[in-house]
Structure 1
């Protein structure tokens, strides 16, 4: 199913939670809504689900205006951050709930409901747990039950609000990769809210970056990182450090770093956003010094001190940096915006 939002407005008192949001999601896309707290992500998701009604604008699903259609008639599956499972119901009863509350003429029979629940438990890799209660499950298992319940009604669209926020890092990683695979197998159109940029950039086909109730850029992860729409997006993504500079003749000049290309930016004061992959530290008698070097799953994470700044950089291949060691820093690229 396709989704299109046109000019969506939602105000709470004098505050605009949504301020003319426009967004178009294609059939089968997996889209992330990414932004800081208060940017409008959850309000937009709840407006799509029918849990909020906008003050103005259109919500179109497969071309049909849904802005005033009740949630139960939209054919949308919704997964909440806190699972929202019924604690007094078993896993079976939680998953079957959406089927049992259908109007009588649309309600499946008892045997069909049992077959559907069994099928969904296998799909979310929880076979044999139908008799347990939510408090007898781990956080990851509860989230899978919540997902199975959302899928039970065979939704056209799947919406997820911070679905991994309550899980530890290892379970988050495993569950989000599993969810992406499930999305691809089922051919759903999915949107999920997150404030975790790694999560959004790793999972989504496209990411809508939101700020102050607006979508400021909607692109693939590759485009967002390479060509951010403005300084706000550049600073929000990629662990970028803002460094003051001056543009002269298509180059950004720094106080303590070599110049770098700044094509298309007018001459004058500017700010360059430098990610760790934009800086290469090499051993030598340079002005920089190694402030910290640590190993993680992606290799050596290096922090250098230069001109009163602390910058993350990549170490030269084969070099084992030591704390306090002098080094040189080269700039491989930057995203530069007028100050």
Structure 2
């Protein structure tokens, strides 16, 4: 449908006269008449009738007017959605309760005037494709999947290396430890029902398990981090991994243990990916905010998959 014709019809309906609508639109009266006539032919109905008093809506014109206004509002929103500075910055995070969502909340507190649209895509492959195609402005991801290179034109910069801790309930055999090594976890049940095949976080934990001889169980439905914490806290055999920045909701009546991992400390490498030609001013503000943050690195040796290190080093890494 020709939106210029729709806009002209609305102008005539509001003005009540073809001549006044022509003045309002900076058109000739003949051009206004032609646009309205073309719209009427497309719809197959008469929208306006000429009377001695001006232009009056027909019954069909009255029915169509509200929809015509809605079309013009939709057009305005569509234009605003791609106008830099006038639309929300669209950012993907792995989960709304993940630590990187906390970084976005900090950015929003620091810059409350910037509109954010936070989305959660399924995995790094989908997220990187959405950045490449312009569906989102940026994504927080650990790494891309092994064997999946960063497309040309995508920038990636490290944000933080988040140490992992072992999470147990008070009855677990390791609950009294002040720290454990990854190798000490061999033979213990590490339960992570949120590990979905084909995602970068599952690839990360598979690499961790292979490196240190661990067994990670992903069985059972994933009811979210709160349900995971509640079950592990009540178990004498189950444990799980949590990032130190993961917000914890403590179930009533349960004690919990968060035990550091040492020698080496597994860290989950978070990065920000965006298109190099994205000129959204809020994206520049987000990158500057992230660069201003200070993150303490854990003492001693750290571990992350070799393919994660290659992915982070393959980019220009502009901060």
- Please report the TM-score for the alignment, with normalisation by the length of structure 2: 0.24
Task: Choose between structure 1 and 2: higher strand proportion.
Answer: 1
Task: Choose between structure 1 and 2: higher helix proportion.
Answer: 2
Larger Rg: 2
- Please report the TM-score for the alignment, with normalisation by the length of structure 1: 0.23
